[in-house]
Each structure stands twice: as C-alpha cells, then as structure tokens.
Amino acid sequence: MTDKQNNFTQTASTEDIVNLSTFTSVENYDILVLGGGPAGLAAAVSAHENGASVLLIERERRLGGILKQCVHDGFGLLRYKERLTGPEYAQREIDCFLAAEIPYVLESFVVDVRKEGSGYVVCAQSAAGMKAYSCKAIILACGCRERTSRQVFIHGQRSAGIFSAGTAQYFVNIQGKMPTKRCVILGSGDIGLIMARRLTLEGASVVGVYEIKNAPAGLSRNISQCLDDFGIPLHLSTTVTEVLGTQRVEAVAIEKVDTNMNPIPGTREIIECDALILSVGLLPEIELANALDIPIDPATKGPFVDQSLMTQAAGVFACGNVLHVNDLADWVSWSGEIAGENAAKYCRNPRGFFTNKDGCVGGEPVLLQYSKADFLYVVPQYVSSHGPFPLTLFFRSREDVKDKTITLASGGVTLPSEEALQDGKGGGYISKKYRRIIPSEMEALKVKSLGRLGDAVEFRLKME
Amino acid sequence: MANCAFGVICTKKLGSLQNLLARKYPGVECFEFGDSVRLEGTLGDWETIVRCGKFAAKAGFRAVINDVSLKDFTPPPMRTPPVKDNALQGLTPDVLIIGGGVIGCSIARELSRWQLSVLLVDKEDDVAMHASSRNDGMIHPGIASHPGTLRGEYNVRGNAMYDQICKDLSVPFERWGSLILYHERWFGISARFFLGYRSKALGVPGRHLNRRRLEALEPNITKEANGAFEYPTSGILSPYKLTVALAENAVENDVQISLNTVVTGMDVEHGAITAVHTNRGTVRPRVIANAAGCFCDTVAGMAGDRFFSIHPRKGECCILDKNAGPLSQRSMGLIGLAAAFSTSKGGGIMRTIDGNVLVGPDAYEQPLREDFSTNRENLDAVMNKHLQLINGFNRSQVIAYFAGVRAPTYEEDFIIEGSRRVQNLIHAAGIQSPGLASAPAIADEITKLTLSRIGGKILPNPRFNPVRNASPAMAKLSLKEKQELIAKNPEYGVVVCRCEGISKGEIRAAVRSPLPATSLDAVKRRVRPGMGRCQGGFCTPLVAELLQEEGVESITKKGAGSELFVGSLGDKATEVYPDD
Amino acid sequence: MEIICIVCPNGCRMEASGEGGNLQVSGNLCPKGIDFAKAEITAPMRSLTTTVATVFPESPRLPVKTRSEIPKGKVMEAMAKIRTVVVHEPKKVGDVILPDVFGTDIIATGELAR
C-alpha cells in the first residue's frame, strides 16, 4: 500500500490543494509543458505549431534549463549543423520559443498534479501565489538530477568540498565561485570530464579522474579534449572509498576494484585534495510522473512511453532527460518536438489518438522485446505498426561491442521497411550495421514506417 | 568526603576488585578516588578497556574512572573553535550552561522561566551539533530501561511532557507508536511476562500483537516478525528542530547563547568554581550546569570533580527516500533474547517526522568522541539487519547516512545531581539513549537543583513566554493560508529546494531567527533544504547566495574551516598564469 | 598514432601514419576527421569556452568563446587575457567581448540583460 500524497515532494496537509473551488480562477490550456529546458521549449513550440494552446511552466528564474551553465561547446551539430555552446544552443531555442509568443511562467514550482475528468489539473507555487491550471495534456520535460555521493556509498567524513559536478559547474559558470584548488573527480561521466577541463582552465589542479568501471562513462572526444589536452590522468577500475577531513575535505582514499567492483585489499592510497567532485550518473526527475502513478521503466528510470512519447497515463507525454538520460541536447530537443506534436494531436482527438489505453483504435502499441544481455535499454518501450512515424529507437548497448547488426523484428520475421524497399539499400529489412557500439554512447535507429505490417503483436530488437 | 566507615568498606571492595582485575585484566590497577574507583594501565585493544571498565562498575563503587590507555594510541584533543576574543569577558551570569545539545537547551529554556541571567555556551557553530542531531528522533516510551534506573524514570516522565512542549514550540511531533518485534514464538511468550512486568513497574502502556494483528497494523511487514509488543506512547520528532526551537525560545526569554565558545579551564576555590575560562573571555557564574555530552567528564575534571568516565559509543544510521516513507507506520525493531538485556536496543526502522525512513543505529565502542565518519561495513550491516523487515525497502532508497556518538558512563545510567565536591556545579552527565525522551524531565530536575544551589527567593520571569514565535512552514499550511502568506511575503512562493519544497521565505526566516542559521547545515537543520534526495545538489548554490545576501561573509557548511569556496574566479589569476 | 576526433560527438578513433603530404588517416567516419588529424599533427587548434565577469549582481558571469579556434598551446595564455575583462553593458550572443586574442575575437555566447 502506498499513500500517493506521501509519495509526492510536498508531503503534508496538501489535501485541499487541488480542490478547484478554493481557487478564484483556474487558467485553462490544451497543454501544459512542465519544464523550460531544451525539451520543454521544443515541445511547447511544436505543440503550438500544431494548433494547441500551450503554457510552459519553469521552476527557475530563466529559461534554458541546465544548458545555461554548460558554457562548453559541442551542442547543436545535429540540429543546427554548427558547433554551439550550451548557452548559444539554449538561446536559439529560447528565441524560437519567444517568437511563437507562447505564454510561460518563471520561478513557478509545480506542487501538485492530478487527474481531473478527462484532463489534468496542475497547481504551481510562485511569488504570485498558488495558481491552478487545467489542461487536456501534460508534457513532462523536467530533466534529470545527479546521483549523489550517498547514492554511490562514499564513506568517511561529511566535510565541505564534496560536490556533484553539476553543482560545481553552477558555482563556477553561473556564480563565479571557485569550489576547489586541488580536486579529485570520481566518475568519468561527461559533466565530470567537462569540469576537469573547466576547473583546470580556472587555475585549479585536477589530480585525476577515477572511474569504478573498466571503461570511461563519457564520450571519447571529451576524454581527449578535456583530460588528454591537459594531462589529467584517467584511472579506470579505481574508486574513492573514503573522504578524510572533518571540516573541509583534506584527502580521499582511493582503491582499485575487482571485476565485481569490490575494493581490492592493499591497494588503498591517500590523495591530498580539498574537494571530491562526483560525476557518477544522472537520474530522470520523475517526481511528477510518480505523483500521477505513471509506471517507470527500471532500465531508463524514466516513464514507459510509446512512440508518440505518451506515458502509460493517457494525455501525459514525456521528453528529454526525464524520459531517459541523453548524451546530446540535440536528441533532447528532437524528443520535445515529437512529444509536442503528438500531444497536440491528442488534444484534438483524444479518443481517436493512437493509444494503448482504453478507446484505442487498432495497432495497439506492444512492449518492445529485447535481450537485457545486449541492451541497457530501448526507448520508446512500446511500439505500434500504426505509427506515429518516423519512429526512432534510442538504445544503449550493455557492453562495448564491435561489428554488430541491430535489427527490428516482428515475431520471427524481420520487417521489410518501406523506406528500405524504396531506396533499395537495406536489403528490405529494418536493420543497421554498427562498427562499434559502446554503453556510454546512445545510438538511434530510425524507422520511417513499419509498412503494411498490420496489427503486429510482437516486436523484438536484436543485436547480432 | 570519605568518612572512616566508608573508607573501610571501600578498601575492602578495592582489595577484591584488585584481585579480580589482576586475574582478568593483567596490567590494570585500581585506586580509590573519592568514592569512585580509578583504573590505570595500558591494554592492547579498546573493547577490552571498555569491558574492564564495565567489570569494575559492578564492584559497588559510585562510579568508574577508566584511565586505562590504549596501547600506541594518543586520543586526539577536543576540537576547538578557532575564534579568540573577549566577547564574554567579565560576564557574571547566574547560571552558565556548558553544552548546547538538547539537554543544555532544555535546561536553558526551563531556567528562563525564572528571573535569572543565563548564559549557554557551545564550542560548535550551532546548537545540536553532536548527539542531538545524530540520533533517531524517537521519543521512547520507556520500556527499554530497567526499572529503578534514572534512564527509566526520566524517560517515562520526559515522554509525557512532549505534547505540551512541542505545541508551545511549534515542533512537529507524532505519537505513531513503536513495536518490539520478535521472530521466535517462544521468545514472544517469555517476553510477555518480562515486558509486562516492566510495563507495570515503569508505567508504560503496551500490548502484545500476534502476527495477524501485527499485519493489520503494518501490512508490509515481512515474515521476519511473528509478533510484536506495541507501545502507543512512543513518539517521533526531529531532534535538531526540537533543540533549535528550545534554544530559540530560550533566547526569546532572555537567555544568552554564545556559540563557538569552548570552556578551557576553571578556577576552583574553597570547593566552589570562581571563574570559568573560555576562548572568548573569563566568566564568573554563580552556578554551572554541565551538559557537555561526550565531554561531560572533561568538564567535571576541570572543576576537580571527575568521578566518572565516558566511553564513546558510536552509531551509524541511514535515511531512506520519502517514497519509502509510507511503507511503515511505526518505529520498530526486531529483538532477540540477547538484545533484550543489552544496554542498547540495537536500532530499527522508523518513519521520521518528515516522512523519510531512518534505519539504525548500530552501537559500537571506540575511543573517539568526535568521530562522525561512517564506514561501509557498519552501514552495510545496519541495512542488512533492518531493511528486511519491510517489503519494499531496499538499498537504492538510501539518500543519506550519518554517525553519532553516545556518551554513556560505565554504570550505563544518567548522572543528574549536584556535585558532591563542588558546591556550584550540577551535572547532567552520562546522557545517552533515551536522553532525547528524557530531556524535559532532566531539565526540570536540573532547574530545581540550580534554584536550590543559588538559594534565596527567586521570582518567576514575568516576561517568560513558553510559546515560540515560530516562522511559518509552507508544507503545514492550507492552500488558503499559503495564498495569504505569499500575498504578504512573495518570497514564500519562491521554491528554492525542489526536493523538499522549501521556499526562499522559510530559509530567510531561519537566517533571521533568534538563533540565526549562518551555515548551510544550520539552515538545513532548521528548514531542510538539502535533506531531500538531491542532497543539496540543486539548492546549495541558492542557499549560499541567500546567506550572502543576508550578510554572512564566509559561506561554510558547518562553521569555520568548512568554507564552501576557495575563492572567486579570477582571484590571483596572474599568479597562476603569468602573462609571459 | 591514435587520434580521437573531437569535431563531433562520434569521437572517431583514427589512426594516422606518414608525414606531411603523405599523411594517411583511417578510422574516420567523415572527411572532417582527416582535416582534424592533419591539424592535430602539424598545428593543433582548440576552441576555448569560458566566462567573463560582469558588474551585474543578478548575472555575475557571462559565457564567452573564441570566435574561431586558437593554437592549443595558447589556451592558458588566452585564459589569462580573458580573465582581465569585466563587462559593464548588456550583451547579446555574438557580441565581441575582447578583440584580437591570438588572431580571433572573444565573443559572448549568452544574453546579458540589464
């Protein structure tokens, strides 16, 4: 038994929060977009272009999400065919959003979301008071959060100087504060690598990046340009096991780990430093999905969705990093567009919308099967031959593999694709050859159509 | 002090203890020290030293002073604040309270009912920095203590006082009840008599639940428990919120609190303390209350009244995410026969007042009084032991963990009495579990002792107001109240901590309270930003910004030495990269 | 020698052999890789992204970058020059913040409103 109220961020005495009669006015929109980062901005624009009335709710002071603090470049190569910095990428999305004159509220924090009739009610708190909004559809675009030192069971002292890489990035790039002179970075996620370079540029010394796994978690270009360029060593199969220093971090203990990631006795080494910066993974922020009791995929830690990016709750869509943690902002924006377009379609005709809920019209999305030994995850988790198309399957392999073919199959049959048949390249099958697939780099398999497949009841993604 | 007859008895006891020690703990010698016994020598491991002390505690002396040292180990000195000034120089308060834990702060508030000048000092940057912020927050019913002990007596009395205190201080408090779970049925049967006797002797209401009734109350309980004893008077609160509230209310009622203030020595003349030296000047109080937690024996020693020893007993706990909160309703722990007679209850699981779940603590003896580090083996054991009690609990729900150090004597009981050697010293010493539950009753008693030591007629403080002027907590308000509050002060609408839903207004109020929060942890203890699942990842920069706005010059996690930043971008830039 | 291409997120692991006009590059998914490898061997270039101080308390830092790449060996020197800048006026993306730093300009990559 779970008490829904208590599952939610604000626990106490909110029983009357969505009792609409307590609000003097309730604003009504087709779609509420929750989050004003790249996913939310793209979703709002796309929903607006598809004829829906949209309100975007952002909890921070400014639009742009986490990109505001990502001052490094490498964004937009897919979307804009240019190498942009995070703020530049964000500004393009913001400009586009503002040009569409879509209403939005800033520094508004969603404190509750409920199903109400066939739609939803959202209550947000801001300096202007408690506001209620009703809508037909919701697009979750609330991004992700960093795993903490506690979630990776770092022991020893709880001194000042233990920061997640994103927090350190905020200190440096937004507030102009230096959180360290000499640090150790645990985890080779991209933010950790980016921060290794950033802190070095600002005069700190980065003793090394330590990764518990036997392969780096971040992109290889970041290993090259952030670590190699500055002579920062990357130590694989090594982790931080203890923090020393009662007030401020004075040192950390590192230990080599075995193949089961357990520390190897006798390998302990003390490294003097004033900070431990963690880049140990990101987790979708699913608080609002939880409040709506939306099923969560244990593999992505985000909601299950079908190819319209609708979750298991009719009318609730998810995009960007709340859906699964992406490597590239470009994919985040792209998923926002898909969610926005489909949410708008849903608003026009909820019952006719292709859905796996009650009232669906054929081609019911079915859970895509895949081997957990080959794949870490695949998104969307539900697929239907009725669309919408194009369908892009995002996946991560479990292992570092070479020369593999990824194939989408139905039952025992590999599906002929219209596109493939037309251009005659793919040999009539939805499959793609990959020279190398590594877990840290998400891959995308684009499917333009599932052709004349009819109501397929089983799909499987295979790696051979 | 020791009259002739007393001396004879002691010498006889001493002799037999000497013989026994020589056999069991070679190298340890014992001496009479007033009416206590003092152990000396060197042993190779700490556990043996503690066992030796406990053994001596059974010999019938008033208390054990255990000066047996650990081979090749020099205990680190007490950590002291770096500040040195004369802020307190020449003060002559009626009462000086040493220690700003829940005991010291309870005493301060209780004394503020009277026309007395009261000064409370604590060496840390905030109140509740040691055991009072490092415990499980349980207001024990009293069933865990042996009848006839002070721990049992004060626990039951203190427990009953909490409804009023928490109401006056606006400290959230619930009596969700607690369960002593058992696995073996035979244990349940025998424990019924044993616990039934205690219930009667101590006056603690309780009842037995079989598996079926237990399941009805706690549907997610696993098969580890075949039955339970339920104690409905068990309560839960946030021990640090309580301590801060007590301190704030004391300040509202004219108590002076001086933080970052450590007592460094005392002048004792003709059996009375005439001066107390601190890093911030010398004060000359009429009466001194010793509520110094793990250092209460050190403080007693400064006054020449060291008649007992503290052996630091560490414990580690972890906190589960709020999504695990609804899975259990009551505090509970599984006990076997051994645990029923041990000095510590062995921890358990409890839904915290803020909706998380606390797991633990464990209990182990070690020589460090201020070591709050955690370690993997202990925490793994805590999780392995307790997470299995509830279906749905698992390691991935852990969002935080911490350690605390209890301050027990070798007699394993509280010392709540006026000094027998120093006429103006009063001890609230050896306070361990259930110290939190006992705090109000202890404060009551210490206040009586203080008043009688001061003597003469002391009038009630006409300005005393038991009700704390608490700042609003958004989470506790109705929608309408929230609307009104935000209309009055829009900062209550701006959410800074997204995990806990804490507004800027609440944080600013904590920084401006009668006992201002000036560090990140102090803000966190009062209003919870950083207590949620992101552990401050998002809100730390924002809280730091707000502290700066409020004039806090150096942003620290927990006082001097824990500065968050090493500088600003561009500081000494040319030094790092000469432009050549 | 192995060269990891940093031009795009593919991060191709390339193998370069030979010298000057005879440079052979393999492992690249696109022609940009060859150009990158050549530059990397002869005169490696990097773009630099960082922030500059502003006088606005609401936005104490403004993100900036080099308009085009600068020699890899000059990155730290460029940082020292950029660090001397304090922005007093509102800026738009692309505005020049500091001209002529190793042959290029330092330009704003974010908006700075008053």
Domain ranges of chain B: 4-70, 83-176+233-310+412-470, 178-232+311-406, 474-549
Of A168, A429, A441, A332, whose CA–CA distance to B540 is shortest? A168
Of B519, B497, B314, B317, whose CA–CA distance to B400 is shortest? B317
C86 near B CB under 8 A: no
Across the range B356-376, mean pLDDT stands at 96
Contact of B55 with B16, CB cutoff 8 Å: no
Low-confidence ranges of chain C (pLDDT < 70): none
Give this prediction's pTM. 0.93
Residue A360, domain member (yes or no): no
Share of residues in chain B with pLDDT > 70 (%):
94
Asked if residue A343 and residue A410 are part of one domain, the reply reads no
Query: Which of B326, B545, B569 has the CB atom closest to A178's CB atom?
Result: B569
Asked if residue A300 and residue A252 are part of one domain, the reply reads no
For chain B positions 354-383, those within 8 Å of chain A (CB to CB) are: 354-355, 370, 372-376, 379
Domain C-terminal end among A230, A251, A280: A280
Does B573 contact A172 at a Cβ distance shorter than 8 Å?
no
Q: What angle do CA B192, B198, B204 make, to 5 degrees?
A: 105
CA B460 to centroid of chain Cα atoms: 29
Task: Look at B176 and A416; give whichever has higher pLDDT.
Answer: B176
Type of residue found at B456: G
> Which pLDDT band, with edges at 50, 70 and 90, does B475 fall under?
confident
Calpha distance B137→B458 (Å, rounded): 34
The domain in which residue A434 lies consists of 366-463
Q: Are strands B364-365 and B313-320 parallel, antiparallel or unpaired?
A: antiparallel
Does A130 contact B486 at a Cβ distance shorter than 8 Å?
yes
Asked if residue A161 and residue A138 are part of one domain, the reply reads no
Type of residue found at B25: Y
User: Per-residue DSSP letters for B122-171?
Assistant: -SSSSSS-SGGGSS--EE--STTSPTTSHHHHHHHHHHHHHHHHHHHHT-
First-to-final CA distance of chain C: 50
Burial class, C99, CB count within 10 angstroms (exposed 0-12 / middle 13-18 / buried 19+): exposed
> Which pLDDT band, with edges at 50, 70 and 90, does B34 fall under?
very high
Span B411-453, pLDDT tens digits: 999 999 999 999 999 999 999 999 999 999 999 999 999 999 9
Span A282-307, pLDDT tens digits: 999 999 999 999 999 999 999 999 99
- The CA distances from residue B552 to B129, B495, B548, B549, C96, in Å, are 20, 21, 5, 7, 36
Asked if residue A339 and residue A212 are part of one domain, the reply reads no
B530 sits in the region (left: phi over 0; alpha: psi -120 to 50; else beta) called: left
Q: Which residue of B has its CA nearest to A201?
A: B577
Of B292, B252, B344, B311, whose CA–CA distance to B123 is shortest? B292
Q: What radius of gyration, in Å, describes the C-alpha atoms of chain B?
A: 25
Q: Collect all residues of chain C within an 8 Å Cβ-Cβ radius of residue A172.
A: 51
Binning chain C into helix, strand and coil, the percentages to the nearest 5 are 20, 35, 40
Does C6 contact A221 at a Cβ distance shorter than 8 Å?
yes
Amino acid B1: pLDDT: 38
Q: Collect all residues of chain C within an 8 Å Cβ-Cβ radius of residue A88.
A: 93, 109-110
- Is the link from the previous residue into B361 a cis peptide, with omega within 30 of 0? yes
Q: Collect all residues of chain B within an 8 Å Cβ-Cβ radius of residue A3.
A: 326
Q: Which residue of B has its CA nearest to A175?
A: B541
Does A247 contact B568 at a Cβ distance shorter than 8 Å?
no
Q: Which of C83, C87, C102 to mutate to test the interface with B (most CBs of B within 10 A)?
A: C83
Contact of B365 with B46, CB cutoff 8 Å: yes
Residue A357, domain member (yes or no): no
Name the domain count of chain A: 3
Helix H or strand E encompassing A252: strand A251-256
Of B141, B154, B235, whose CA–CA distance to B195 is shortest? B141
Asked if residue A443 and residue A404 are part of one domain, the reply reads yes
A170 near B CB under 8 A: yes
Does C76 contact B570 at a Cβ distance shorter than 8 Å?
no
Query: What's the residue count for chain C?
Result: 114
User: Per-residue DSSP letters for A329-398?
Assistant: HHHHHHHHHHHHHHHHHHHH-TTTS--SSTT--SS--EEEEE-TTTEEEEESSEE-TT--SSEEEEEEES
Q: To the nearest whole number, what is the mean pLDDT of chain B?
A: 93
CATH code for the domain of A137:
3.50.50.60
How many alpha carbons lie under 13 Å from residue A25 in its C-beta half-sphere? 3
Calpha distance B466→B473 (Å, rounded): 19
A225 near C CB under 8 A: yes
Does C61 contact A91 at a Cβ distance shorter than 8 Å?
no
Asked if residue A250 and residue A184 are part of one domain, the reply reads yes
For chain B positions 386-405, those within 8 Å of chain A (CB to CB) are: 396, 398-402
Asked if residue A127 and residue A11 are part of one domain, the reply reads yes
Report the gap between the CA of B376 and the closest CA in chain A (Å): 6
CA B417 to centroid of chain Cα atoms: 19
Q: Quickly name the fold that domain B178-232+311-406 has.
A: D-Amino Acid Oxidase; Chain A, domain 2 (3.30.9)
Type of residue found at A147: R
Q: Which residue of A has its CA nearest to C113?
A: A62
Residue A361, domain member (yes or no): no
Q: Collect all residues of chain C within an 8 Å Cβ-Cβ radius of residue B573.
A: 80, 83-84
Which of the following is catalytic: B140, B208, B311, B386?
Answer: B140
Q: Which residue of B has its CA nearest to A291?
A: B323
Query: Which of A2, A59, A248 has the CB atom closest to B561's CB atom?
Result: A248
Q: Are strands A162-164 and A275-278 parallel, antiparallel or unpaired?
A: parallel
Decide if domain B4-70 falls under CATH 3.30.9: no
Contact of A327 with A78, CB cutoff 8 Å: no
Does A241 contact B376 at a Cβ distance shorter than 8 Å?
yes
Of B515, B559, B518, B523, whose CA–CA distance to B539 is shortest? B523
Right CATH number for B83-176+233-310+412-470 from 3.40.50.1980, 2.40.50.140, 3.50.50.60, 3.40.50.2000?
A: 3.50.50.60
ipTM of the complex: 0.95
Asked if residue A332 and residue A248 are part of one domain, the reply reads no
Type of residue found at B40: E
A173 near C CB under 8 A: yes
Query: What's the residue count for chain A?
Result: 464
- Our answer to whether residue B140 is catalytic in this structure is yes
**CATH class of the domain at C49-108:** alpha beta
Contact of A229 with C46, CB cutoff 8 Å: yes
Question: Helices A86-99 and A38-49 meet at what angle, rounded to 10?
Answer: 30
Give strand ranges (E) for B225-271. 227-231, 235-237, 256-258, 263-269
- The CA distances from residue B72 to A62, B30, B44, B45, C25, in Å, are 58, 21, 8, 10, 63
Q: Which two three-digit tokens encode residue A426?
A: 């793919």
Residue A356, domain member (yes or no): no
Span B109-144, pLDDT tens digits: 999 999 999 999 999 999 999 999 999 999 999 998
Query: Which of A130, A158, A178 has the CB atom closest to B568's CB atom?
Result: A178
Calpha distance C71→C77 (Å, rounded): 10
Asked if residue A22 and residue A136 are part of one domain, the reply reads yes
User: Per-residue DSSP letters for A5-73?
Assistant: HHHSSS-SS-TTTT-GGGSS-EEEEEEEEE--SHHHHHHHHHHHHTT--EEEE-SSSSSSGGGGG--SE
Q: Which two three-digit tokens encode residue A234?
A: 């990357």
For chain A positions 34-63, those within 8 Å of chain B (CB to CB) are: 59
Amino acid B580: pLDDT: 33
Low-confidence ranges of chain A (pLDDT < 50): 1-16, 355-362, 418-428
Report the gap between the CA of B499 and the closest CA in chain C (Å): 24
User: Per-residue DSSP letters for B526-545?
Assistant: HH-TT-STTTTTTTHHHHHH
Decide if domain B474-549 falls under CATH 1.10.10: yes
Calpha distance A55→A31 (Å, rounded): 7
Of A340, A282, A305, whose CA–CA distance to A66 is shortest? A282
Does B374 contact A177 at a Cβ distance shorter than 8 Å?
no
